Amino acid sequence: MERWSGLTADEMLLLETTFWSSGGSRHRMAERLAFSKSKTNALIAGLVDQGILAEAGLQQSSGGRRAENLQLSGTLGVLVGIDIGATSLDIAVLRPDLQPVAQHAEAADVRQGPGVVLARVRVILRELLARCGVNARQVLGIGIGVPGPVNFQSGQLVNPPLMPAWDGFSIRDLLREDYAAPVFVDNDVNLMALGELWRLKRSLSNFLVIKVGTGIGCGIVCHGEVYRGAAGSAGDVGHICVDQEGPRCHCGNVGCVEVMAAGPAITRMAVQAANDGQSEALAECLRRTGRIDATDVGHAGRAGDAAANGIIQKAGSLLGQMLASVVNFFNPSHIFIGGGITHIGPLFLAAVRQSVYQRSLALSTRHLEIQYTPLGAQAGITGAGVLAMQETLKVRGVAP
């Protein structure tokens, strides 16, 4: 950490560019920074000498001599990514280039409140760091994603519907007791969007990441940056109305896409199909395990169960209806769908696509790609790591 406290603005820019281009060559780096070749080489040499940058093997080249891949040195320290979901907890210790060193995932219930959940976070994190032989002072930065609206500046949750006990709570302050490293908190879907932006090395400027789990949320990338809105609540698409005659949502309105197409709605439809005798496969699952989730519905559907496929079709079509409005408004180039829903399989995606292509304007959908998020279950953790590194570089960059 102390190692980069005396770096120049140009050196910090080179570090940031290296982080975002993960494994680029010197040549590509010079191009991106609009520095001369000799200036870039001198800067790199200095940073390699200080143990901040490392040259990682040889890169395949189209001809001539091979260029070295550059990355942030593993000796700098580690990043911590924490992904708090409504029903899950994921924690990873990552190298500065975001390669995981140690990782742990378990079921959790965010409604138990910050006391219970964060006590568990502290225990797991201590164990993970011990497992990699890293001490608390080697942690460079900590990034945390939570399933609710966050005031990004203060790190506090603001009226989170899925986690009311956390309202106004500062996660940042609590973790500061254990670690000197800076702690950054953001909404989980914003972090998924940040993770994809990093995976794509910023090659796309305007895209969306939709998370479908217990709720439905949307991370927005606009002009190449994550967009949080005027009050930090941008992307709250779960409460867009898709049926004026639909059921009542916990937000007070009726027909919100979240209450009709997210995880709990899929479970509700599946339990009903099981109990009504419409699906032997779902009834069997309910008897055997006492519950049915999106993964079970997907299994039943792929085995040819018509009721399960009807549920998948309906949920996908409703999500697509909401996305059609969003596509008309925002005209993204890509929509990546993530969260627990991805286990339901390809039929869901087909239903979403059909619904969007039918309801959106031709010009907006001509080149629109809709797919499951390539980072999969790692999207949240990756985004938390990107947040930790990016904001730590900013904090360090402005320090004297």
Q: Write the binding mask 12 to 51 for a copy of itself: x where contact by CB under 8 A, - elsewhere.
A: ----------------------------------------
Q: Which of residues 86 and 128 has its CB atom nearest to a copy of itself in the complex?
A: 86
Name the one range near a copy of itself by CB under 8 A: 20-28, 110-118, 185-193, 356-364: 356-364
* Residue 278 touching a copy of itself (CB under 8 A): no
- Residue 239 interacts with a copy of itself (CB under 8 A): yes or no: yes
Q: Which of residues 244, 287, 288, 290 is near a copy of itself by CB under 8 A?
A: 244
Which region among 69-77, 288-296, 328-336, 383-391 touches a copy of itself (by CB under 8 A)? 328-336
Stretch that binds a copy of itself, among 50-58, 79-87, 262-270, 331-339 (CB under 8 A): 331-339
- Of 223 and 287, nearer to a copy of itself (C-beta) is 223
Number of residues that bind a copy of itself (CB under 8 A): 50
Nearer of residues 107 and 231 to a copy of itself, judged by Cβ: 231
Least CB distance to a copy of itself at residue 242 (A): 9
Q: How far apart are CA 70 and CA 55, in angstroms?
A: 5
Residue 358 contacts a copy of itself per CB under 8 A? yes
In angstroms, give the least distance from the CB of 357 to a copy of itself. 12
The verdict on 359 binding a copy of itself (CB under 8 A) reads yes
Contact residue for a copy of itself among 59, 170, 328, 354 (CB under 8 A): 328
Q: Which of 49, 230, 287, 304 binds a copy of itself (CB under 8 A)?
A: 230
CB of 236 to a copy of itself, least distance (A): 5
**Given 72, 146, 189, 324, the residue binding a copy of itself (CB under 8 A):** 324
- Closest among 323, 329, 339 to 383, alpha carbons compared: 339
366 binds a copy of itself (CB under 8 A): yes
Q: Is 398 in the site for a copy of itself (CB under 8 A)?
A: no
3-state secondary structure string across the chain: CHHHCCCCHHHHHHHHHHHHHCCCEHHHHHHHHCCCHHHHHHHHHHHHHCCCEEEEEECCCCCCCCCEEEEECHHHCEEEEEEECCCEEEEEEECCCCCEEEEEEEECCHHHCHHHHHHHHHHHHHHHHHHCCCCHHHEEEEEEEECCCEECCCCEECCCCCCHHHCCCEHHHHHHCCCCCCEEEEEHHHHHHHHHHHHCCCCCCCEEEEEECCCEEEEEEECCEEECCCCCCCCCHHHCECCCCCCECCCCCECEHHHHHCHHHHHHHHHHHHHCCCCHHHHHHHHHHCCCCHHHHHHHHHCCCHHHHHHHHHHHHHHHHHHHHHHHHHCCCEEEEECHHHHHCHHHHHHHHHHHHHHCCHHHHCCCEEEECCCHHHHHHHHHHHHHHHHHHHHHHHCC
Interface with a copy of itself includes 229 (CB under 8 A)?
yes
Judged by CB under 8 A, the residue of 271, 331, 343, 354 near a copy of itself is: 331
* Ranges within 199-228 binding a copy of itself (CB under 8 A): 205-207, 218, 220, 222-223, 225, 227-228
Residue 3 to residue 137: CA distance in whole angstroms: 13
Other Cβ atoms within 10 Å of 134 Cβ, number = 17
Contacts to a copy of itself by CB under 8 A: 149, 158-159, 205-207, 218, 220, 222-223, 225, 227-237, 239-241, 243-244, 251, 253, 321-322, 324-326, 328-333, 358-364, 366-368
